[in-house]
Amino acid sequence: MSTSSQEKSKVISNISGAEAVIRCLLEEGVETLYGYPGGAIMPIYDELYKFQDILHHVLTRHEQGATHAAQGYARTSGKVGVAMATSGPGATNLVTGIADAQIDSTPMVCITGQVASHLLGSDAFQETDIIGISTPVTKWNYQITKASEIPEIMARAFYIARSGRPGPVLIDITKDAQFEHFDFGYKKCTGIRSYQPYPILDQVKVDEAIALINQAKKPFIVWGQGVILGQAESEFKTFVEISGIPAAWTILGLSALPTDHPSNRGMVGMHGNYAPNLLTNECDLLIAIGMRFDDRVTGDLNTYAKQAKIIHLELDPAEVNKNVTADITLLADCKISLQRLNEKITPKSYPEWIQRFDELDAIEYKKVIHHDLHPTKPGLTMGETIEMINRFSKGNAVIVTDVGQHQMVACRYAKFNQSKSNVTSGGLGTMGFALPAAIGAKMGAPEREVVAVIGDGGYQMTIQELGTIFQQRLAVKIVVLNNDFLGMVRQWQQLFFDKRYASTEMVNPDFVKIAEGYYIQAKRINQRDELENAVKEMIASDQPYFLEVCVEKEDNVFPMIPSGASVSAIRLE
């Protein structure tokens, strides 16, 4: 394997493969990792014990929790998250988090133990083919059977995970390779032949894009997480301010531009805002930046933005013309693409076009937002709960959401002043994501307030991670919006299945007692006059805090685009 490298570290004679793994992590600047021990990875854990003063291992309560925690850590810190597990069920329990990281482009290195190499393929105790299982959901994976392979493979793993479009890498290490001794030296990987993570931008295409932008009458920007991953927030803000073009976000792009920025027109997609969804099919130029035209954003591809010219700023060639054919593609890191565009675009304003957004915003406010934030019914709404969190967090908190109605409401109404503030499961839609992800998010940004907003269904999928919060003494704030339903599925059943609520009503435990069992301060509220003081107390606490908010059982999230329908078919009720 040919790998260009920086200066090699000092050779350490005759160390075990297990110790080499730990030294590789230290060479890559890893300070925190998440995992769960077991037989096939025990040699690595034994070596980890010797380095515990400089390498902090977080014992999660389930291997899936380790991957989600590593994701949360990566999303707020911008570093590579690291998770470890043993072979067999330990390794397979990582797969959901790995798949989530793959589709959401989260840099992560997972290390799994494996049975001894002479037992491979024999159905030995706790043997699974984790390489075969994880191949479809990793950016790269590799099985190590010789200790001497460890330094180069680990260096490659971190380089591949963080470079280009980030993603998860899995390294499986047989037990005999962990015990085997060799002379250790480490070289950071800085390039791999045939792997080109950063395409070279075509200046001719840039000039063509500038010409289209300068002549557009009704241009519209949709941006995604590529802006955040490319650390292009400043360039993007400059672009929207010079161009004067209204912009909307996918849920993973949320927080790249401050919520109250005048060019920020809200969210696109199934439960996005009325104006940006409708006007996608009225604009004459659609500029897609760091987004992949997911089906939840586009709806029916046969009717999506057919009237518009399309410019796509994208890093990953696999996403180009995959779902939507672009007229011009700027294939490069969007930080570079935006810098080039900013040099030549003409400052403009679009008063009539902006007025069209304002008119549709007013309709949405009257029919949806006012009900969500200023309800007349006695029951609490999810929207007013998020609004109360905004009041006391002042837009400076990291909001971690699970998947469901609460996720859509939080994305719609949460206020953000800085990037890397919205942590959620986007493409895979993993229930159970939020609680462990909030652990990692807090450890990745310990100076920031971290609030996990979770539904009563998803919360119970990883509720055991309350033990990790308690053991690590993390001041994570947990808000469960409890409607005693799997709310998003129930909404679909109400609207499209004649209210046949099949297997969606929840009979829930006493969440407050469970939290208190983990020595976490807890409170339950169900009256509007209790909400302000409860949220104020939660945000003011310097300890972990659990708040259960009992909300309307059958409240729905609108606007809504029916699955597979055109974005123009968006419903307000």
Dihedral (Cα; 145, 147, 149, 150), 10-degree rounding: 110
pLDDT tens figures, 411-432: 999 999 999 999 999 999 999 9
Integer Cα distance of 257 and 265 in angstroms = 11
Q: Which DSSP symbol is given to 306?
A: T
Residue 566 has pLDDT above 90, yes or no: yes
pTM score, two decimals?
0.96
pLDDT of 2 reads 40
Tokens of 71: 């994701």
Q: Are 66 and 108 in contact (CB under 8 A)?
A: no
Residue 175 has pLDDT above 60, yes or no: yes
Q: Which amino acid would we find at residue 13? A: S
Average pLDDT of span 308-324: 97
Integer Cα distance of 101 and 36 in angstroms = 19
CATH number corresponding to 3-192:
3.40.50.970
In what helix (H) or strand (E) does residue 56 lie, and over which residues does it extend?
A: strand 56-59
Residue 192 CB neighbour total at 10 angstroms: 17
Helix (H), strand (E), coil (C) string for 102-169: HHCCCCEEEEEEECCHHHCCCCCCCCCCHHHHHHHHCCEEEEECCHHHHHHHHHHHHHHHHCCCCCEE
Tokens of 227: 């802006």
Q: What are the residue ranges of helices labelled H in 414-510?
A: 434-444, 456-459, 466-472, 487-496
pLDDT of 7 reads 54
Q: Are 154 and 185 in contact (CB under 8 A)?
A: no
pLDDT tens figures, 139-148: 999 999 999 9
Q: Are 114 and 143 in contact (CB under 8 A)?
A: yes
pLDDT of 10 reads 87
pLDDT of 16 reads 98
The pairing of strands 3-5 and 189-192 is: antiparallel
Residues noted as catalytic:
63, 125-126, 175, 488
The CATH class of the 203-357 domain is alpha beta
Residue 167 has pLDDT above 70, yes or no: yes
In what helix (H) or strand (E) does residue 512 lie, and over which residues does it extend?
A: helix 511-517
The pairing of strands 12-16 and 181-184 is: antiparallel
Distance, CA of 143 to chain centre: 27
User: Which listed CATH number (3.40.640.10, 3.40.50.1100, 3.40.50.970, 3.40.47.10) goes with 378-550?
Assistant: 3.40.50.970
- The percent of residues above 90 in pLDDT, for the chain, comes to 96
Radius of gyration of the chain (CA): 24
pLDDT tens figures, 438-451: 999 999 999 999 99
Tokens of 195: 């792997």
pLDDT mean across residues, the chain: 96
- The percent of residues above 70 in pLDDT, for the chain, comes to 99
For the chain, where do the domains classified as CATH 3.40.50.970 start and end?
A: 3-192, 378-550
Average pLDDT of span 517-537: 98
Q: Are 411 and 267 in contact (CB under 8 A)?
A: yes
pLDDT tens figures, 4-24: 444 577 899 999 999 999 999
Helix (H), strand (E), coil (C) string for 551-563: ECCCCCCCCECCC
